[in-house]
Structure 1
Amino acid sequence: MKVITSIKVQLKPNKNQMTKLFQYANTARFAYNWAMSREQEYCISGGKFISDNDLRKEFTQLKKQKDHHWLNEVSNNVTKQSIKDACNTYKRFFKGQCKYPKFKSKRKSTPSFYQDNIKIKFTETHVKVEGFSSSKKLNKQKLNWIRLAEKDRIPIDCKYTNPRITYDGLHWWISVGIEKEDSTRIPLNEGIGIDLGIKNLAICSNENNYENINKKLTVKKSEKRKRMLQRSIARKYEKNKKKGNYCKTRNIIKSEEEFLKINHRLMNIRQNHLHQTTSKIVKREPSFICIEDLNVNGMMKNRHLSKAVQQQLFYEFRRQLEYKCNWNNIPLIIAERFFPSSKLCSCCGNIKKMLYNPLHNIYKLIRICTDSLVRNLRLWRVLELVSSI
Structure 2
Amino acid sequence: MVKAIKVMLIPNNVQKTKMFQYAGASRFAYNWALAREKENYEKGGKFISDSELRKEFTKLRHSEEYAWLLNISNNVTKQAIKDACTAYKNFFKGLQKFPRFKSKKRSMPKFYQDNVKIQFSNTHVKFEGFSSSRKANKQKMNWVRLAEHGRIPTDVKYMNPRISFDGLKVKKLEKQKRRLQRSISRSYEKNKKGESYCKTNNVIKKEKLLLKRNHRLTNIRKNYLNQTISEIVNRKPRFICIEDLNVSGMMENRHLSKAVQEQGFFWFRKQLEHKCGDKGIQLIVADRFYPSSKLCSCCGNIKKDLKLSDRVYRCACGNIIDRDFQASINLKAYGERFAS
CA–CA distance in structure 2, aligned partners of residues 283 and 314 of structure 1 = 11
User: Does structure 2 conserve the Cα–Cα contact (< 8 Å) formed by 1:132 and 1:143?
Assistant: yes
CA–CA distance in structure 1, aligned partners of residues 66 and 203 of structure 2 = 38
Report how far residue 280 of structure 1 moved.
Answer: 12
Identity fraction in percent: 48
Report how far residue 311 of structure 1 moved.
Answer: 8.0
1:1-389 equivalent positions in 2, closer than 5 A: 3-170=1-168, 239=202, 282=240, 312-314=270-272, 318=276
Of Structure 1 and Structure 2, the greater strand share is in 1
Residues 163 and 231 (structure 1), Cα distance of their counterparts in 2 relative to 1, 3 Å cut: same
Residues 95 and 265 (structure 1), Cα distance of their counterparts in 2 relative to 1, 3 Å cut: closer
Q: Which amino acid aligns with 1:87?
A: C
CA–CA distance in structure 2, aligned partners of residues 231 and 43 of structure 1 = 48
Residues 44 and 316 (structure 1), Cα distance of their counterparts in 2 relative to 1, 3 Å cut: farther
1:193-247 Cα shifts (integer Å, max 9, x gaps): xxxxxxxxxxxxxxxxxxxxxxxxxxxxxxxx99x879959989x8499xxxx9x
CA–CA distance in structure 1, aligned partners of residues 153 and 102 of structure 2 = 33
Larger C-alpha radius of gyration, 1 or 2? 1
Report how far residue 68 of structure 1 moved.
Answer: 0.1
Report how far residue 111 of structure 1 moved.
Answer: 0.4
Residues 36 and 82 (structure 1), Cα distance of their counterparts in 2 relative to 1, 3 Å cut: same
Tell me the secondary structure at the aligned position of residue 8 of structure 1. Answer: coil
Tell me the secondary structure at the aligned position of residue 7 of structure 1. Answer: coil
Report how far residue 119 of structure 1 moved.
Answer: 0.5
TM-score (norm: length of structure 2): 0.56
Q: Which amino acid aligns with 2:47?
A: F
Q: Which runs of 4+ in 1 moved over 3 A?
A: 228-236, 238-241, 259-268, 278-284, 308-319
Residues 265 and 30 (structure 1), Cα distance of their counterparts in 2 relative to 1, 3 Å cut: same
Residues 32 and 266 (structure 1), Cα distance of their counterparts in 2 relative to 1, 3 Å cut: closer
Tell me the secondary structure at the aligned position of residue 98 of structure 1. Answer: coil
Report how far residue 267 of structure 1 moved.
Answer: 5.6
CA–CA distance in structure 1, aligned partners of residues 92 and 238 of structure 2 = 41
CA–CA distance in structure 2, aligned partners of residues 159 and 61 of structure 1 = 32
CA–CA distance in structure 2, aligned partners of residues 261 and 152 of structure 1 = 33
CA–CA distance in structure 1, aligned partners of residues 115 and 271 of structure 2 = 33
Residues 233 and 315 (structure 1), Cα distance of their counterparts in 2 relative to 1, 3 Å cut: farther
1:25-44 Cα shifts (integer Å, max 9, x gaps): 00000000000000011001
1:97-122 Cα shifts (integer Å, max 9, x gaps): 00111100111110000000110100
Residues 67 and 151 (structure 1), Cα distance of their counterparts in 2 relative to 1, 3 Å cut: same
Q: Which amino acid aligns with 2:30?
A: Y
CA–CA distance in structure 1, aligned partners of residues 222 and 150 of structure 2 = 24
CA–CA distance in structure 2, aligned partners of residues 143 and 62 of structure 1 = 28
User: Does structure 2 conserve the Cα–Cα contact (< 8 Å) formed by 1:170 and 1:260?
Assistant: no
Residues 168 and 260 (structure 1), Cα distance of their counterparts in 2 relative to 1, 3 Å cut: farther
1:320-358 Cα shifts (integer Å, max 9, x gaps): x79x9xxx9xxxxxxxxxxxxxxxxxxxxxxxxxxxxxx
> Corresponding residue for 1:208?
none
Tell me the secondary structure at the aligned position of residue 22 of structure 1. Answer: helix
Tell me the secondary structure at the aligned position of residue 30 of structure 1. Answer: helix
Q: Which amino acid aligns with 2:144?
A: I
Paired residue total: 231
Report how far residue 313 of structure 1 moved.
Answer: 3.3
CA–CA distance in structure 2, aligned partners of residues 311 and 107 of structure 1 = 33
Tell me the secondary structure at the aligned position of residue 151 of structure 2. Answer: coil
CA–CA distance in structure 2, aligned partners of residues 161 and 168 of structure 1 = 20
Q: Which amino acid aligns with 2:132?
A: S
Tell me the secondary structure at the aligned position of residue 147 of structure 1. Answer: strand
| Root-mean-square deviation over aligned CA pairs | 4.7
Tell me the secondary structure at the aligned position of residue 113 of structure 1. Answer: strand
Residues 142 and 233 (structure 1), Cα distance of their counterparts in 2 relative to 1, 3 Å cut: same
User: Does structure 2 conserve the Cα–Cα contact (< 8 Å) formed by 1:10 and 1:171?
Assistant: no
